[in-house]
Amino acid sequence: MKHLSEEQLIAYQDGEAAGREEFSAHIAACAECKAELGRLTEMLAAFEALPVPDPGEDYGRRVWQQIAPRLEEKHSHWWPALLTPQRLMAGALVATLLLVAFLAGRVSKRVTPSDGGSPLTASTGTADAARVRERVLMLAVGEHLGRSEMVLMDIANAEPGSAGVKQVNFSSQRRRAEDLLDENRLYRQTALQEGDTGIANVLDELERVLLDVAHSPQTVTTAQIKSIRQRIDDDGLLFKVRVLTKQIQMRENTSKPGPAQSGAVRVERNNEA
């Protein structure tokens, strides 16, 4: 075949699929086209390697200082802030728990032994309510732990941008920890009210680390990062979070509505938890 035209050569180098097999075969057999392709590739690699000056570690901060006075205040919309998945979930959890508690109260009031109702029916109603409550809490806490694990992992992997730099931009981790704190408090209190001390204890330990991270400066030294990491390691927090997530998944799987199961058995499992 003919040598590759310039257009074909450039398109081939750029990964163009049309006619690729035929061109590949030709290039493999044609020293001249192979050399042209090599030169083109080297030229493009040289452009890619053209050095760009490093604007400096604090460049982002300088840009912010330059533009901040020129940014107009945006009109505050309170609703987008409330519509975050995390806040919606926390709100839904509270609403569901309130509804379940209300319905459970009605059932147990309506059907009591003194009213002539069966004691078994009353305990079944309460146990069902407790079971639903537990499932709602488990789902929400499971999600929360997943997000918390990501932040902890992020801290474990946080490194300075380049070798020799001793500062780490910690703003992302800080902001995320801040967001997780509200949820964490809510779930810990709910777990305590539900008598689930296992979950409450892990959430309590998690809350302390999240507080540390949320109150860290925007930029931290590698020594500060090391200290937070040390704390996570000493408490075995990442491990505990993972174990709890796994346990919650297992509890969630076993507490899914299934064939006839006596209320007494379900209450027993709730107490075990």
Partner 1 sequence: MNESVESVREADAIAIERTLAGDRDAFRILVERHSATIFRLAYRLSGNHHDAEEIVQEAFLRAYQKLEQFASQANFATWVYRIAANYSIDRMRQKKKEDARRQAPSTEMSDDVEQDPLRQIPDAAPTPERLTQSVELKREMETALQSLTPAERIAFVMRHCDGCGIAEIALALKSNSSAAKNTVFRAVQKLRQALEPQLAPRAQARAMGTES
In the complex, the residues that contact partner 1 under the rule CB under 8 A are: 1-7, 9-11, 14, 26, 30, 32-33, 36, 39-40, 42-44, 46-53, 55, 59-61, 63-64, 66-68, 70-71, 73-78, 80-81, 84, 150-151, 153-154, 157, 169, 171-172, 175-176, 179, 218
Q: How far is the CB of 2 from partner 1 (least distance, A)?
A: 6
**Residue found by looking up tokens 């990964």 in the block:** 15
Task: Collect all residues with Cβ–Cβ distance below 8 Å to 126 and sequence separation of at least 6.
Answer: 104, 107, 108
Are 110 and 125 in contact by the 8 Å Cβ rule? The answer is: no
End-to-end CA distance of the chain: 75
Q: How far is the CB of 38 from partner 1 (least distance, A)?
A: 8
- Complex with partner 1: residue 214 or 273, whichever CB lies closer: 214
Q: Residue 102: which H helix or E strand, with range?
A: helix 85-110
Are 273 and 138 in contact by the 8 Å Cβ rule? The answer is: no
Residue 206, burial from CB neighbour count under 10 angstroms (0-12, 13-18, 19+): buried
Beta partners for 221? 167
Q: How far is the CB of 228 from partner 1 (least distance, A)?
A: 16
Q: How far is the CB of 156 from partner 1 (least distance, A)?
A: 11
Q: How far apart are CA 209 and CA 232, in angstroms?
A: 7
Q: How far is the CB of 261 from partner 1 (least distance, A)?
A: 39
Task: Collect all residues with Cβ–Cβ distance below 8 Å to 268 and sequence separation of at least 6.
Answer: none
- Complex with partner 1: residue 124 or 148, whichever CB lies closer: 148
Q: How far is the CB of 210 from partner 1 (least distance, A)?
A: 15
Q: How far apart are CA 247 and CA 158, in angstroms?
A: 28
Are 242 and 149 in contact by the 8 Å Cβ rule? The answer is: yes
What are the two backbone dihedrals, phi and then psi, of residue 168, each rounded to the nearest 5 degrees? -125, 130
- Complex with partner 1: residue 92 or 150, whichever CB lies closer: 150
- Complex with partner 1: residue 1 or 250, whichever CB lies closer: 1
Q: How far is the CB of 127 from partner 1 (least distance, A)?
A: 38
Q: How far apart are CA 195 and CA 190, in angstroms?
A: 9
- Complex with partner 1: residue 2 or 256, whichever CB lies closer: 2
Structure tokens at 9: 């050569």
